[in-house]
Amino acid sequence: MNRIFPLMGCLGSLLLFQAPLFPAAVPPNVLWIIVDDMSPNFGCYGEKSIQTPHVDRLARDGTRFDNAFITAPVCSPCRSALITGMYQTTLGSHHHRSGRGSLRIKLPQGVDPIPVLFQKAGFHTCIGNGVVGNTVLGKTDYNFDWNKDMYDSADWSNRKPGQPFFMQVQLQGGKLRDGNGWKNLKLHFGETCTRPETVTMPPYYPRDPDLLKDWAYYLDAVRQTDHQVGAVLARLEKEHLLDQTLVVFMTDHGISHARGKQFLYDEGTRVPLVLRGPGITKGTVRTDLVEHIDLAAFSLAYAGIGAPTAIQGKNILSPVHPPKEAVFAARDRCDETVERLRSVRTKEWLLIENGYPDRPALQPNRYKDHKPTLLKLRELRDKKALSALSIELLFAPTRSRWELYHRSDDPFQTKNVAFDATNRVTLERLKGMLAKWQVETGDMGRGPEPAAMYDSDMKEYLDTSPGPAKREIQTNIDLMKRFAAEGK
């Protein structure tokens, strides 16, 4: 399905062009390390239960961003935005795993994935796991049609002599604990596995033994990821490439948990972002707000490559970069589950709009409903073993249209103060900022998804699912359509 590119107005001025930060005869290499399903649970971000020496080293040798956020808390819309430097809601790629059926999503004219721009500038473009000899392309998961030729190979070792490269190292991150992955973590760490009683979880999760054990496995997945990052850095050093390479470390969204992945609270949208490379200030912590779509803008500028005027990310490395007043995020349909959430964040406030307030927060969703954490939480609910806070935040049958949280006073977003009289001016100001962003960026998710696109994607989803899963998905699809018919 072709998407009409909305009028962008002044958005073309968002990217500040400048001379490359690395003035040399040969441009620098640019290497992104992108990790699945992981929040900032690293030592340099204050995690105490585990040690993460390699990411911490990156932070010591470079710049760490303390307020980095993604624009979508689930893989495919997040990655669609990342690889274009544009909001997924502008591109029409905001629904998770959309455009996979007979109706397709195409990028607007004038919008190219970032690897295409690097390739045109003479870079070897590659995506893989960073291991020598790997020939398998890494995770893409883009929601639009794209030409696989934009990646020259799975690794920078295939480039021509002296040719700069743009590499995406894709790591499994939090998914290392999924399924039977925890068994591999136990084999790898043995007696040094993280002890469940040492972990700290958000206050709305009970300190149930199974939930603590799952969080401990997650932290061991963080440790394993840190080990993999160390291997990539060691390889760059061995090949004498580290000091001529911009290394970017980031995750695609937060931890896969009840209130993390798929949701717009900090647990789902706040991510680590660390940069290391020539010209990057060492040992610096930046507290200004940044978005993951900024990676495209500053990576191109760092390599001295011009960017399309339509790109919406900002060059946060520019010496004249004005700090952002706010960052924005959106969550839409995830697989069969219809949803519409929008948020605006400032340094002090988070405002979330629930597009379907008459539906429960944890709507049925086959992917998430089979996670051990959700199964355990529902078991505890049925046994009346959850706190009032957990019930309110996780299992309330309806939601407020607006949720407002004061981030420094309420870092876990547990107290909605949207309707406190003292916050009326703040609420209206943030509502206005969110509405303005939706109009200026051409948010294509302000209304319901066209039925034809939903049915197209659901047919593909059903056709590729095994029998029991297919029946569950179809039941959820029927519920989504019933909710819509009832005006929910």
**Residue-wise pLDDT tens digits, 427-481:** 999 999 999 999 999 999 999 999 999 999 999 999 999 999 999 999 999 999 9
Which pLDDT score, from 0 to 100, does residue 463 have? 97
Q: What phi and psi, each to the nearest 5 degrees, are found at residue 426? A: -60, -45
Judge whether 79 and 142 are in contact, CB under 8 Å.
Answer: yes
Confidence of residue 311 (pLDDT cuts 50, 70, 90): very high
Q: What is the radius of gyration, based on Cα positions, of the chain?
A: 22
**Residue-wise pLDDT tens digits, 256-274:** 999 999 999 999 999 999 9
Q: What is the CATH number of domain 9-321?
A: 3.40.720.10
**Residue-wise pLDDT tens digits, 82-133:** 999 999 999 999 999 999 999 999 999 999 999 999 999 999 999 999 999 9
Judge whether 366 and 469 are in contact, CB under 8 Å.
Answer: yes
User: Is the pLDDT score of 71 beyond 90?
Assistant: yes
pTM, 2 dp: 0.94
Alpha helices in 371-466 (DSSP H): 372-382, 388-394, 424-440, 451-463
| Closest by CA position to 254, among listed 90, 31, 45 | 45
- Measured CA to CA, the distance from residue 383 to residue 477 in angstroms comes to 28
Buried b (16+ CB within 10 A) or exposed e, 279-306: ebeeeeebeebbbbbbbbbbbbbbbbbe
**Residue-wise pLDDT tens digits, 16-57:** 334 445 545 679 999 999 999 999 999 999 999 999 999 999
Contacts 24+ apart (CB under 8 A), 182-185: 182/217, 182/220, 185/217, 185/220, 185/221, 185/224
- Measured CA to CA, the distance from residue 371 to residue 369 in angstroms comes to 6
Going from N- to C-terminal start, the domains of the chain cover 9-321, 331-449
